[in-house]
């Protein structure tokens, strides 16, 4: 058991009213823990949410040594608070940590920290359909040192943000831009780690896609620019001729927990799933032959994001009838049902606080 010192705020904020949006409102408290070389992780605490003070020379500001995670807490109709597969986030955090030379956080401590801070701010979890409390654990390197070396001190923090329904009027298809110039990651790089640097590398293409009227970027591999990787903050799936295809984990894409859950559910349902290399030509051909039945992204924020339109160079493909495919809808209903306690949880994914 982690000994967590809790200091409650003397000035609780008013809870937000109306539309919540995403990532702009924070709860009353946050979890903080320090790492010091020789001491390990220490001083676990929950304190009032506030700005923090750091030297402008901190390693994180100059060389980007940082890791983050993303998960959600849900309030069920039964009044209970649920997390979804938090041990998977803990495990992935350490895969990122290892790649980034950040000290590992024992997985039980990671989960305990998340549970403890969510518990303190439990009454911030919104209850309307589709809403949740977004949980953002992260580590930053805090040595005040301009030399390039792994930091010897770190901060692990968990902040919480009540978030609105991703889709206010039910699932809605998005338009995706297949980027053929910029790349996000290469094998051997940090593509599989959840870290700010990957997002920084993605911004220019995202701006380009937005300017052209598309909401997200689909990345191709960094060497041949031929094989499908993933979307901005989502993994990607294609239903082709009755089979569901998704790029295999190859070191340059993020191993999404929603991705893993979708693969498991499809297998349970007896839908054939293939994790392998998928070329953009294969998709264009499937589309020409009328076999590209559904395309959807998977990630914690949207859960399932149906793709209605895919652009590649001069081609703009409309997927199916441009609406929401039956497999996308069923996956969305099932995963959100499990997360919020509406459906049975045969795979043991839901964790009650």
Q: How far is the CB of 270 from ligand PLP (least distance, A)?
A: 23
Q: At what angle do helices 257-268 and 86-99 cross, to 10 degrees?
A: 130
Q: How far is the CB of 17 from ligand PLP (least distance, A)?
A: 28
Nearer to ligand PLP, 258 or 339 (CB): 258
Q: Give the phi and the psi of residue 248 in degrees, each rounded to 5.
A: -70, 160
Nearer to ligand PLP, 163 or 198 (CB): 198
In terms of phi and psi (left: phi > 0; alpha: psi -120 to 50; beta: otherwise), the region of 253 is beta
Burial class (CB in 10 A: 0-12, 13-18, 19+), 79: exposed
Distance in angstroms (rounded) separating the CA atoms of residues 304 and 324: 10
Nearer to ligand PLP, 4 or 257 (CB): 257
Nearer to ligand PLP, 232 or 320 (CB): 232
Spatial CA neighbour of 92 closest among 64, 111, 119, 65: 111
Nearer to ligand PLP, 140 or 254 (CB): 254
Give every CB contact of residue 32 below 8 A, 6+ residues apart in sequence.
Answer: 43, 44, 45, 46, 47, 155, 156, 157
The two structure tokens encoding residue 202: 């993605």
Q: Tell me the C-alpha to C-alpha distance, in Å, between residue 34 and each of 77, 91, 124.
A: 37, 19, 26
Nearer to ligand PLP, 251 or 323 (CB): 251
Q: Which residues bind ligand PLP (CB under 6 A)?
A: 70, 194, 198, 230, 233-235, 254, 256-259, 298-300
Q: Tell me the C-alpha to C-alpha distance, in Å, between residue 348 and each of 69, 193, 303, 314.
A: 21, 26, 18, 45
Nearer to ligand PLP, 299 or 320 (CB): 299
Q: Please tell me whether residue 303 adopts helix, strand or coil conformation.
A: strand
Q: Give the phi and the psi of residue 309 in degrees, each rounded to 5.
A: -145, 135
Q: At what angle do helices 257-268 and 326-339 cross, to 10 degrees?
A: 110
The two structure tokens encoding residue 135: 């949980």
Nearer to ligand PLP, 94 or 298 (CB): 298
Helix runs in 250-289, H state only: 257-268, 280-288
Distance in angstroms (rounded) separating the CA atoms of residues 338 and 82: 10
Bridge-based pairing state of the strands 81-84 and 243-247: unpaired
Q: How far is the CB of 234 from ligand PLP (least distance, A)?
A: 5
Q: How far is the CB of 28 from ligand PLP (least distance, A)?
A: 25
Nearer to ligand PLP, 95 or 345 (CB): 95
């Amino acid at each position: 058991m982690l000994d967590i010192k809790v200091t409650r705020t003397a000035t609780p904020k008013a809870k937000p009213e109306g539309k919540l949006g995403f990532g702009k409102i924070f709860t009353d408290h946050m979890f903080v823990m320090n790492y010091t070389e020789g001491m390990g992780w220490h001083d676990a605490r929950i304190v009032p949410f506030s700005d923090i003070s750091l030297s402008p020379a901190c390693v994180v500001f100059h060389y980007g040594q940082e890791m983050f995670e993303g998960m959600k807490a849900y309030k069920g109709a039964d009044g209970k608070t649920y997390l979804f597969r938090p041990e998977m986030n803990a495990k992935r955090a350490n895969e990122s940590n290892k790649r980034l030379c950040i000290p590992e956080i024992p997985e039980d401590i990671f989960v305990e920290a998340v549970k403890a801070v969510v518990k303190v701010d439990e009454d911030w979890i919104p209850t309307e359909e589709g809403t949740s409390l977004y949980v953002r654990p992260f580590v930053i390197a805090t040595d005040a040192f301009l030399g390039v070396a792994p930091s010897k001190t770190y901060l692990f923090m968990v902040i919480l943000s009540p978030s609105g329904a991703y889709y206010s009027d039910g699932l809605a298809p998005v338009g995706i831009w297949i980027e053929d110039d910029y790349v996000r990651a290469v094998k051997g790089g940090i593509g599989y780690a959840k870290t700010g640097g990957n997002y920084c590398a993605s911004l220019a293409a995202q701006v380009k896609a937005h300017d052209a009227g598309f909401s997200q970027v689909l990345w191709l591999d960094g060497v041949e620019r031929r094989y499908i990787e993933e979307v901005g903050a989502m993994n990607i799936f294609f239903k082709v001729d009755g089979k569901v295809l998704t790029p295999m984990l190859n070191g340059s894409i993020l191993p999404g927990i929603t991705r893993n859950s979708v693969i498991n559910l499809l297998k349970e349902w007896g839908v054939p799933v293939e994790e392998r290399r998928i070329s953009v030509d294969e998709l264009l051909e499937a589309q020409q032959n009328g076999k590209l039945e559904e395309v959807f992204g998977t990630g914690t924020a949207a859960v399932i994001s149906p793709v209605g339109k895919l652009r590649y160079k001069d081609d703009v493909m409309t997927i199916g009838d441009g609406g929401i495919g039956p497999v996308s809808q069923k996956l969305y209903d099932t995963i959100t049902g499990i997360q919020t306690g509406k459906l049975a949880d045969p795979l043991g994914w839901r964790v009650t606080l």
